[in-house]
């Protein structure tokens, strides 16, 4: 609650449209000295090429193929380069709504309901006993399921077709 109150008080001192973090990000990224080649295909779309990669920027849908704009809500360096090419760029129009101060203040508006002390808690009369879950597994270490060894079989064969070669050798070895 204290942290919430401090955020609410600090946000009341802000007088711009965007939160300071977003303002600082836009200021820092617009002053970068990267060499970007911009090929504008329409009023809202352009291809921005740097030394190592090429990205397509669409400022109408607020998308870039690098996906930074989509993930953060703040325009990436490619979008900033294309937007900065315009006459009078209004940076706050290209930022997600969550970076506006009025949205920040709305998130910290209201109050959290306080909890009473432990001595004021209500005692529940209908208690249900919760025990250990029912399991179908037996206690202890599970037995290993092994394949039967052919010379230790104790079964009797009634059909001659059921007798295989190794059983014949086993019977022959017992006799001799």
Quick: pLDDT tens for 52-81. Answer: 899 999 999 999 999 999 999 999 999 999
Write down the pLDDT at residue 75.
92
Residue 51: pLDDT over 80: yes
- pLDDT of res. 135: 74
d(C-alpha 1, C-alpha 115), whole Å: 12
The per-residue pLDDT of the chain, averaged, comes to: 82
The answer, yes or no, to whether residue 156 has pLDDT greater than 80, is no
| Residue 46, pLDDT above cutoff 90 | yes
Which of 55, 30, 26, 62 has the alpha carbon at shortest distance from 41? Answer: 55
- What is the DSSP annotation of 116-154? PPGGGPPPPS------PPP--SPSSSPPP--PPPGGG--
**CA-based nearest residue to 12, from 101, 79, 114:** 101
**Stretch 97-124: mean pLDDT:** 86
User: Per-residue pLDDT for 170 more than 70?
Assistant: no
| In the block, residue with structure tokens 């949205």 | 103
* 2-41 per-position pLDDT tens digit: 888 888 888 888 888 999 999 999 989 888 877 889 999 9
Spell out the residues 6+ positions from residue 98 whose beta carbon is closer than 8 angstroms to its own: 73
Residue 146 has pLDDT above 80, yes or no: no
Would the pLDDT of 118 be above 80?
Answer: yes
Domain boundaries, the chain: 2-107
Higher pLDDT, 20 or 173: 20
Give the per-residue pLDDT at 92.
84
Query: How many helices (DSSP H) and strands (DSSP E) are in the chain?
Result: 6, 4
Which two tokens mark 16?
A: 């711009």
The more confidently predicted of residues 167 and 143 is: 143
pTM equals 0.59
pLDDT for 73: 93
SS3 169: helix
């Amino acid at each position: 609650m204290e942290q919430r109150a401090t955020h609410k008080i600090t946000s009341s001192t802000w007088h711009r449209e965007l939160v300071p973090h977003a303002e600082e990000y836009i200021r820092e990224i617009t002053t970068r000295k990267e060499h970007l080649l911009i090929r504008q295909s329409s009023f809202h779309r352009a291809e921005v090429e740097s030394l190592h990669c090429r990205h397509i920027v669409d400022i109408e849908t607020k998308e870039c193929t690098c996906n930074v704009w989509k993930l953060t809500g703040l325009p990436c360096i490619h979008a900033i380069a294309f937007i900065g090419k315009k006459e009078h760029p209004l940076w706050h129009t290209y930022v997600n709504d969550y970076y506006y101060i009025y949205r920040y203040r709305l998130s910290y508006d209201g109050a959290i309901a306080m909890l009473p002390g432990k001595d004021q808690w209500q005692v529940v009369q209908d208690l249900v006993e919760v025990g250990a879950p029912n399991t179908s597994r037996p206690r202890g270490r599970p037995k290993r399921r092994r394949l039967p060894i052919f010379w230790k079989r104790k079964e009797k064969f009634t059909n001659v077709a059921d007798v295989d070669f190794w059983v014949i050798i086993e019977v022959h070895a017992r006799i001799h």
